[in-house]
Structure 1
Amino acid sequence: MGKATGFLEYDRKTPQKRPPLDRIEDWDEIKLAQKPDEIKIQGARCMNCGVPFCHGGVMLNGMASGCPVHNLIPEWNDLVYKGQWEEAYKRLIRKNPFPEFTGSVCPAPCEGACTEGYIMEAVAVNSIEHAIIENAFEKGWVQPKKGKDTGKKIAVVGSGPSGLSAAYYLNAVGHQVTVYERSDRPGGLLMYGIPNMKLSKKVVERRIALMKASGINFILNMEVGKDISAQELVDQYDAVVLCIGATKPRGIEVEGKDLKGIHFAVDFLKANTKSLLDSGLKDKSYISAKNKNVIVIGGGDTGTDCVGTAIRHGCKSVNQLEIMPEPPTDRIEDSNPWPEWPVKLKVDYGQEEAIALFGQDPRNYLVSTVKLVGNEKGEVAEVHTVNVTWAADGAGRKIPLEIPGTEKVWKADLVLLAMGFLGPEDTIPAELKLERDARSNIKADYEIFETNAEKVFAAGDGRRGQSLVVWAIQEGKLAAREVDQYLMGKSVIK
């Protein structure tokens, strides 16, 4: 432990953000880098407690508590405080192959389970992690990694975080890895599902370049199940790892759902990032929110990303409609005790920008959409809603009940559906006759990852359902371990 009284002497300090009205003029990352001395002080705040719950990575009350990849957090906090940055980097990558991703976009369940957070503000784990890996890249410590060739060939389908993780570890132990990606760029949701201002695509491309240099082969614009059959991969390779994500978006079943101007959030965000990377948005091949009244139905990170993107387009107004109640400002200990993930209200970057630009938080809680109304051209023009309250039905389940007299009509030129995902697309599971669970995910037990089809494994959101990037990374790693053991009889992947 670097400084025994550090947590008593220093306040939590996270990276500052660029001012909202400045950053909405571009697509650059919103966070500013912290100085090494500031990070050193933040490392000193770690108590090095006897039982580091931040390591946990367990599910409590349906939410992650502690780090799913079991990062050795107190160890690299201590090393940063002592100025031993290279050793801190070595400890960091023992558990996490891609700290630059989790340090940028992870909601930090590690911080939610931090022992210090029980009585005061948690250690700023995310920002320390991000600083360690960026310093390592700057110093040239991050190098391609390849093990001794085993002669085994493995296909990984999908290049999102679970696919990249599986490929990284399988390649590191010497297998020949080929990643199949249907998009024109690798990275999956890291590339096209998360806007550039939250995760720079240069960061993704930097990692992909390292993976290519280590010998991993990426085949792009190749949709398995369409351009090549899944069975062909099973026949050609010694093992196949399906990391296909949960990419079937949840729609809205109300009158007017097929009007023009209603889009899934994932399509809105992907088209914007692709156009931004291809031409700086000059090709106009994206869904524009310029001068439009935008309604985002749904919350979470995706809803926030839609708000931030619409504002950068120059929208006339933007509102979010959420059917759930507004979270409390502080953790409710009776129903949400530590070390569960703290369910409380936060103002994310998109909401900050909307408040600065329009003078109010765009989120509207306990609102249910009942009808979408169009104009004479078949374009969406109005969203009709009603307020709801949540109450228990006869079976004790909470259901939303409409409140009479609370009907409202919202102007809408663009409606974005950010309501989550229903599971993986059916093409590959249907072709390989894979078993599915009750939520339509590919059935493969956690820590085993083997499907009912010989040589076929599954990991990430396509197996567990829509989840966190950090869970996808861990699933890719553990699936790689199981594939390695299946092929070689044992594995050194931990």
Structure 2
Amino acid sequence: MGKPTGFMEYKREVSGVQDPKSRIGNFDEFHTPLSEEKQRQQGARCMACGVPFCQSGVVLNGMVTGCPLHNLIPEWNDLVYTGNWEQAYRRLTKTNNFPEFTARVCPAPCEAACTCGLNDSPVAIKENEYGIVEHAYAAGYAAANPPRVRTGKKVAVIGSGPAGLAAADQLNKRGHQVTVFERSDRVGGLLMYGIPNMKLDKKIIERKIRIMREEGVEFITNADVGAGPKSADTKAGAIKAADIMKQYDRVILACGASNPRDLKVPGRDAKGIHFAVDFLRSTTKSLLDSGLADGNYISAKGKKVMVIGGGDTGNDCVGTAIRHGAGSVIQLEMMPKLPDERSEDNTWPEWPKVCKTDYGQEEAIARFGQDPRVYQTTVKEFLKDKNGNVCKARLVSLEPKKDGKTGRMVMAEVPGSETLREVDLVLIAAGFLGAQKSVADAFKVKLNERTNVDTAPGRYRTNVENVFTAGDMHRGQSLVVWAIREGREAAREVDESLMGYTNLYVQ
């Protein structure tokens, strides 16, 4: 703890943001990082607690608090304060393979658990994570570092999202020959096509992938392993699971939770109703291919847009639709609005259940003059015009009620609350249901009742010999930081199965 009085001398500061009205004119990242001096001051605010809740990654009241990767946060905060940037990078990457990703897209459960936040504001941990990794790239010590010795073992990783990449990175560092198969045309999975460019510039992903290639990881794109009924990319070539099993000593399935939750109401078959993932993917692909000049994306320009779902993906849809030039945007949320401040039964260090206005909602307020979110509301029916296009949505209000059979609180329809809303583009952002069955069937792995790949608790080995799993395909839809942790832990289990022991570090 380099400065014992730092938390009293300095206030929390975070990166600046570009004005919403100006940033919606492009798809660029819009945060201005803190200066090195400010980053060091934030490091000085860290109290080096005897019990560092920030790195705990434990579940309290059904919610995670602290970093699931158990990042050594007090250590590298102090190293930032003292200006020892290279050692800070070494400590940061000891537990996190991709701080350049998490520093941009993680919701920071570490900050929610920071002891400074108990009576004041938390340390700006994400700002320091960003500063450490970007300083490393600028200074050259984030360069490729290939393993000196190879084991002769071959591992196939199916899926190049954060879990697959983390597993591949760990196993390659151990000296195994790793090949990553990606169904789409670019590496990154959720990071590439599920998160908009303004949250995570794709050049950041490509920068890391170049380093992984230099370190010896092989990437094969347009590879539809298991050959599902509908590829994510029409150019994807089918690869038989049996061939993968023959050619590799171990296989890790990290294909994500790729089945979007649908909305089963009358009129759902109308034209103009899309899953959020298809909308976001089409925009990012067209942006990368041609700067949107090819027009090969689901356009919201001039449309009356309705986003169904109040989570991060729904917010991303709002921000993307506004950048398209949408005529109007509303975002439906089934649940009641969260309080603006912690309630008495939501005490620190639990995750704060408070209302957060994210970047997309900020932009909607700036563009249209009001918050796009409509709470305790859902769609009861979609109406079509004569050409089969969606033209209206029948909405209904909801209220919390106790279910007479289970005793649980449910959101029930309010009688007589129906209204009609004009709409010509609907984006369903209601989450995902589990692993794609065609991939599971191709490798003959069992699914559990949640349609995730089944394993023993806390383990990653499937029912099929030499086949492992990790990430959303294993635990269900979750955060990028959880996917990285799963990839690291799966890699450790694979390494042990190959070598009889493992020295891969997992906190």
TM-score (normalizing by structure 2):
0.96
Check the 8 A contact 1:184/1:221 in 2, yes or no: yes
CA–CA distance in structure 2, aligned partners of residues 242 and 59 of structure 1: 26
Contact 1:234 1:240 in 2 (8 A): yes
Counterpart in 1 of 2:200?
A: 199
Map of 2:231 onto structure 1: none
Q: Is the Cα contact below 8 Å between 1:307 and 1:354 reproduced in 2?
A: yes
The yes-or-no answer on 1:333 pairing with 2:344 is yes
SS class of match (1:129): helix
Give aligned-pair identity as a percent: 56
What displacement does 1:61 show?
2.4
What is residue 53 of structure 1 aligned with on the other side?
Answer: 53
Equivalent residues of 1:224, 1:230 under 8 A apart: yes
Q: Secondary structure at the match of 1:368?
A: strand
Shift of 1:446: 4.9
The answer for the alignment partner of 2:223 in structure 1 is 222
Q: What runs of 5+ residues in structure 2 fail to find an aligned partner?
A: 228-237
* Deviation digits for residues 406-446 of structure 1 (CA, Å, limit 9, x no counterpart): 22111111000000000011012112221211101001235
Deviation at 1:58, TM superposition (A): 1.7
Report the Cα distance in structure 2 between the residues aligned to 1:388 and 1:449, rounded to whole angstroms. Answer: 40
* Structure 2 CA distance for aligned equivalents of residues 6 and 445 of structure 1: 45
Task: Tell me if the contact between 2:226 and 2:443 (Cα under 8 Å) persists in the aligned partners.
Answer: no
SS at match of 2:196: coil
Deviations 1:342-387 (A, max 9, x none): 1111111000100001000000100021011111110001111111
CA distance in 2, matches of 1:280, 1:377: 31
2:230 maps to what in 1? none
Structure 2 residue aligned with 1:144: 144
CA–CA distance in 2 between the matches of 1:339 and 1:143? 37
- Say if 2:226 and 2:439, in contact at 8 Å, map to a contact too: yes
Deviates more, 1:392-401 or 1:287-296: 392-401
Which of 434, 440, 443 matches 2:454?
Answer: 443
Alpha-carbon distance in structure 2 between the residues aligned to 1:154 and 1:435: 21
Q: Are the equivalent residues in 2 in contact too, given 1:113–1:338 (CA < 8 A)?
A: yes
Residue 33 of structure 2 contacts residue 127 of structure 2 at CA under 8 Å; is this kept in 1? no
CA contact (8 A) 1:146 1:173 kept: no
Distance 1:145 1:328 in 2: 48
Aligned amino acid, residue 316 of structure 2: D
Aligned residue in 1 for 2:249: 238
Report the Cα offset of residue 404 of structure 1: 2.1
Q: Distance between the aligned counterparts of 1:333 and 1:10, measured in 2?
A: 28
State the AA in 1 paired with 2:297.
Answer: Y
DSSP 3-state at the match of 2:427: strand
Asked if the contact 1:447/1:478 (under 8 Å) is kept, the reply is no
1:189 aligns with 190
In 2, the alpha carbon distance for the partners of 1:229 and 1:242 equals: 14
2:304, 2:329 within 8 Å by CA — same for their partners in 1? yes
Q: Which moved more, 1:68-77 or 1:118-127?
A: 118-127
Q: Equivalent residue for 2:210? A: 209
Query: Does residue 267 in structure 1 map to residue 268 in structure 2?
Result: no
The residue identity in structure 1 corresponding to 2:496 is: Q
More off after superposition, 118-127 vs 247-256: 118-127
Q: Which amino acid aligns with 2:387?
A: K
1:145 Cα deviation after fit: 2.9
SS at match of 1:296: strand
**1:118 equivalent in structure 2:** 118
Q: Is contact 2:306-2:423 (8 Å) kept?
A: yes
1:447/1:479 contact within 8 Å kept: no
Q: What TM-score, normalized by structure 1, do the two folds share? A: 0.99
CA distance in 2, matches of 1:95, 1:398: 39
In 2, Cα distance between the equivalents of 1:113 and 1:298? 27
Partner-residue secondary structure (3-state), 2:31? coil
- Write the distance in 1 (CA, Å) between the matches of 2:223 and 2:168: 17
Residue 344 of structure 1 corresponds to 354
Q: What residue ranges of structure 1 are gaps of 5+ in the alignment?
A: none
CA distance, structure 1, for counterparts of residue 94 and residue 446 of structure 2: 34
What SS does the aligned partner of 1:401 have? strand
Does 2:379 align with 1:378? no
Task: Look up the SS of the partner of 1:223 in the other structure.
Answer: strand
2:191 match: secondary structure: helix
CA contact (8 A) 1:112 1:341 kept: yes
2:234 corresponds to? none
Aligned partner (choices 356, 372, 385) of residue 362 of structure 1: 372
For 1:287, the equivalent position in structure 2 comes to 298
Q: Which residues in structure 2 correspond to 1:105-184 (within 5 Å)? A: 105-147=105-147, 148-184=149-185
Read off the aligned partner of 1:213 and give its amino acid letter. Answer: E
Partner of 1:257: 268
Tell me the CA shift for residue 339 of structure 1: 1.5
Equivalent residue pairs, number:
493
Which residue of structure 2 aligns with residue 22 of structure 1? 22
Instruction: Point out the more displaced range, 404-413 or 122-131.
Output: 404-413
Contact residue 180 and residue 220 of structure 2 kept, 8 A = yes
> What's the CA shift string for 1:46-85, capped at 9, x where partnerless?
1111100111112222222110111000000011111111
3-state SS of paired residue (2:15): coil
CA distance in 2, matches of 1:2, 1:179: 42
Aligned runs of 1:399-478 on 2, under 5 Å? 399-478=410-489
Structure 1 residues 321 and 274, CA, compared in 2 at 3 Å: closer, same or farther?
same
Distance in structure 2 (CA, Å) of the matches to 1:490 and 1:447: 18
Matched residue of 1:390: which SS? strand
Paired with 1:130 and 1:308, the residues of 2 have a C-alpha distance of: 23
2:191 maps to amino acid: L
The separation in 2 between residues aligned to 1:231 and 1:330, in whole angstroms, is: 54
> Partners of 2:246 and 2:344 in 1: how far apart?
54
Cα RMSD of the aligned pairs, angstroms, is: 0.9
The alpha-carbon deviation at position 254 of structure 1 amounts to 0.3
The offset of 1:210, in angstroms, is 0.4
